[in-house]
């Protein structure tokens, strides 16, 4: 997850660097959430709030949660007061007074250890209603020549991150990246959408109802 000594140091540059690339991804997530008739969304690892603002502009009620105080500060500065941002560890936040139609986890998992990834996804499960869905966007395996080029470029970018982020990214990809969730017990991948020929993907998942 983001930390005040890691990615949070560059919070002011995030939107400038990544929004042009992720704009299409954000638009796709908005449409998918409309398809599933979601109204209330919790954005785990909300960063500077770019996706949260896009969702809010499309009529969703959004709460963003991020570990980095710098990211939260930028998000609050750029966002309307109607958007709620919480500075907290997303793996351990008290969820007793929160329940949402859906949880969003965008580009949050790959910088974390396998143990933390599990904690994040299980926290998402606790934050959504029994019939709720989870939207996960992260790296996959690009297919074809164009996909392999895209994956190579993303790997190059990740190679310049701080040591723990870089180490966790390569471990994430060894576990097949976002494809790992296809084999998770009690978790069903309902839909899959690909960008950059599969190098980046959004999956919609739901836990088995008991």
Q: How many CB atoms lie within 10 A of CB 49?
A: 26
Per the structure block, which two tokens stand in for 26?
A: 């954000």
The pLDDT of 41-69, averaged and rounded, is 95
pLDDT greater than 80 at residue 9: no
pLDDT greater than 70 at residue 11: no
Predicted local confidence at residue 5, as pLDDT:
44
Confidence bin at 2 (pLDDT 50/70/90)? very low
**Over the stretch 104-149, which tens digit does the pLDDT of each residue have?**
999 999 999 999 999 999 999 999 999 999 999 999 999 999 999 9
* Average pLDDT for the chain: 90
The pLDDT of 46-67, averaged and rounded, is 95
pLDDT greater than 70 at residue 62: yes
The helix/strand/coil state of 122 is helix
Predicted local confidence at residue 22, as pLDDT:
83
**Over the stretch 70-105, which tens digit does the pLDDT of each residue have?**
999 999 999 998 899 999 999 999 877 889 999 999
Predicted local confidence at residue 94, as pLDDT:
85
Per the structure block, which two tokens stand in for 184?
A: 């998770």
The pLDDT of 56-74, averaged and rounded, is 95
Q: What are phi and psi of 195, to 5 degrees?
A: -130, 155
pLDDT greater than 70 at residue 59: yes
CA distance 90 to 78: 21
Q: What are phi and psi of 44, to 5 degrees?
A: -85, 120
Give me the torsion for CA of 34, 39, 44, 45, rounded to 10°: 70
The pLDDT of 35-58, averaged and rounded, is 96
Predicted local confidence at residue 129, as pLDDT:
94
pLDDT greater than 70 at residue 13: no
Q: Which residue ranges make up each domain of the chain?
A: 7-207
Cα–chain center distance at 168: 16
- 7-207: CATH topology: Rossmann fold (3.40.50)
Q: What are phi and psi of 5, to 5 degrees?
A: -105, 0
Exposed, middle or buried, 35 (CB in 10 Å: 0-12/13-18/19+)? Answer: exposed
Predicted local confidence at residue 17, as pLDDT:
53
The pLDDT of 179-185, averaged and rounded, is 94
pTM for the model stands at: 0.91
């Amino acid at each position: 997850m983001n930390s005040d000594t890691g990615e949070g140091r560059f919070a002011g540059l995030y939107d400038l660097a990544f929004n042009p690339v992720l704009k299409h991804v954000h638009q796709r997530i908005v449409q998918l959430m409309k398809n599933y008739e979601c109204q209330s969304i919790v954005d785990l690892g909300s960063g500077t709030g770019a996706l949260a603002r896009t969702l809010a502009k499309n009529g969703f009620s959004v709460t963003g949660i991020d570990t980095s105080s710098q990211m939260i500060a930028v998000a609050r500065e750029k966002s309307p007061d109607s958007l709620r941002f919480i500075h907290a560890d997303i793996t351990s936040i008290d969820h007793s007074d929160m329940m949402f139609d859906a949880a969003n986890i965008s580009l949050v998992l790959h910088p974390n250890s396998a143990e933390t990834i599990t904690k994040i996804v299980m926290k998402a499960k606790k934050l959504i209603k029994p019939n709720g869905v989870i939207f996960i966007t992260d790296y996959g395996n690009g297919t074809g020549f164009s996909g392999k080029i895209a994956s190579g470029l993303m790997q190059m970018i990740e190679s310049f991150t701080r040591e723990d982020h870089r180490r966790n990214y390569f471990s994430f990809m060894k576990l097949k990246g976002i494809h790992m969730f296809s084999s998770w017990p009690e978790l069903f991948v309902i839909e899959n959408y690909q960008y950059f020929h599969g190098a980046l993907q959004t999956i919609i998942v739901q836990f088995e109802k008991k």
